């Protein structure tokens, strides 16, 4: 299967996918990364892609007259690589109608909290501020809400008294990377169907 991965930051989730595919081989893993896209330049995520010899593309909101035009450009840039699955690995933008028209039902996101708790851009900070005792990460399909799509898998992380946002996020990301690599491989190898809110993998 062909994967396009979208990033906005350090790209450690992308790196985990790259490492697994390099270690196991794309055939055994079930998928290869065919391109990496970003919504900004100058990020480590893009450097990781280039180091791996992958094509990259950047689609910035500010280069487009409207958010809708940006969304259409992102959809077209992604579609050019003919992906079977698109993975948002720390991609910090909400996509619009056009992108979902192309990739709805095969667009996977990873979120650093146990959804439906603490959706949005500050899932780690919000769980900490709330005083939650456990949090974690959620790999889910993207729908037209913010972090509301069908859940594929979750991992749990305990919150420690001494945690600050960055320490907690680092522990979440360790679990998140393993979970994302596992989920994407399983979806790619086994196929899946989405029945309401339920994701069924054979
Ligand atoms: C992940 O925790 C992701 O869930 C969040 O941002 C982080 C991205 O990390 N939205 P990286 O860029 O993959 O290192």
**Considering only CA atoms, which of 180, 162, 202, 200 is closest in space to residue 31?**
180
Span from the CA of 112 to the centroid of ligand 1 (angstroms):
7
Q: In this structure, which residue's CA is closest to atom 4 in ligand 1?
A: 111
Choose, from 64, 102, 111, 169, the residue flagged as catalytic: 111
Question: Is the distance from CB of 177 to CB of 14 less than 8 angstroms?
Answer: no
> What percent of the chain is modeled with pLDDT above 70?
100
Q: What is the CATH number of the domain that holds 107?
A: 3.40.50.170
Kindly report, residue by residue over 105-123, the tens digit of the pLDDT: 999 999 999 999 999 999 9
Say whether 111 is catalytic.
Answer: yes
b (16+ CB within 10 A) / e for 141-167: bbbeeebebebbbbbebebeeebeeee
Its domain, for residue 151, covers 2-192
Quote the CA–CA distance of 26 and 57 in Å, as a whole number.
22
Task: Find residue 138's DSSP bridge partners.
Answer: 111, 154
Give 106: exposed, middle or buried? Use CB within 10 Å, 0-12, 13-18, 19+.
middle
Distances (CA, A) of 71 to 67, 68, 83, 189: 6, 5, 17, 29
Distance between alpha carbon 100 and the CA centroid of its chain, in Å? Answer: 15
Any domain includes 54: yes
Span from the CA of 89 to the centroid of ligand 1 (angstroms):
6
Does 83 score more than 90 pLDDT?
Answer: yes
Any domain includes 199: no
57 three-class SS: strand
Span from the CA of 11 to the centroid of ligand 1 (angstroms):
7
How high is the pLDDT of residue 111?
A: 98
Q: In this structure, which residue's CA is closest to atom 7 in ligand 1?
A: 90
**DSSP class per residue in 113-152:** S-TTSS-STTHHHHHHHHT-SEEEEEEEE--SSSS-SPEE
Any domain includes 145: yes
Q: Rounded mean pLDDT of the chain? A: 98
Record the pTM.
0.97
Task: Find residue 131's DSSP bridge partners.
Answer: none
Question: Is the distance from CB of 123 to CB of 132 less than 8 angstroms?
Answer: no
Question: Is the distance from CB of 109 to CB of 147 less than 8 angstroms?
Answer: yes
Tally the domains of the chain.
Answer: 1
Kindly report, residue by residue over 146-199, the tens digit of the pLDDT: 999 999 999 999 999 999 999 999 999 999 999 999 999 999 999 999 999 999
Any domain includes 200: no
Does 202 score more than 90 pLDDT?
Answer: no
Kindly report, residue by residue over 31-77, the tens digit of the pLDDT: 999 999 999 999 999 999 999 999 999 999 999 999 999 999 999 99
Q: Is the shortest distance between the CB of 125 and ligand 1 below 6 Å? A: no
> What percent of the chain is modeled with pLDDT above 90?
100
């Amino acid at each position: 299967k062909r994967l396009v991965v979208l990033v906005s930051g350090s790209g450690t989730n992308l790196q985990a996918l790259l490492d697994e595919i390099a270690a196991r081989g794309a055939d055994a893993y079930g998928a290869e990364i065919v391109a990496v896209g970003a919504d900004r330049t100058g990020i480590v995520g893009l450097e990781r892609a280039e180091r791996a010899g992958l094509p990259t593309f950047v689609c910035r909101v500010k280069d487009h007259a409207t958010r809708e035009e940006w969304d259409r450009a992102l959809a077209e840039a992604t579609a050019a690589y003919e992906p079977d699955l698109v993975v948002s690995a720390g991609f910090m933008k909400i996509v619009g109608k056009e992108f979902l028209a192309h990739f709805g039902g095969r667009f996977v996101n990873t979120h650093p909290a146990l959804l439906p708790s603490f959706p949005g851009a500050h899932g780690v900070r919000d769980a900490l501020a709330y005083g939650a005792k456990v949090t974690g990460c959620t790999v889910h399909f993207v729908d037209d809400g913010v972090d509301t799509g069908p859940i594929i898998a979750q991992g749990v992380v305990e919150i420690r008294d001494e945690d600050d946002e960055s320490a907690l996020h680092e522990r979440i990301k360790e679990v998140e990377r393993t979970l994302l690599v596992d989920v994407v491989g399983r979806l790619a190898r086994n196929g899946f169907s989405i029945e309401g809110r339920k994701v069924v993998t054979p």
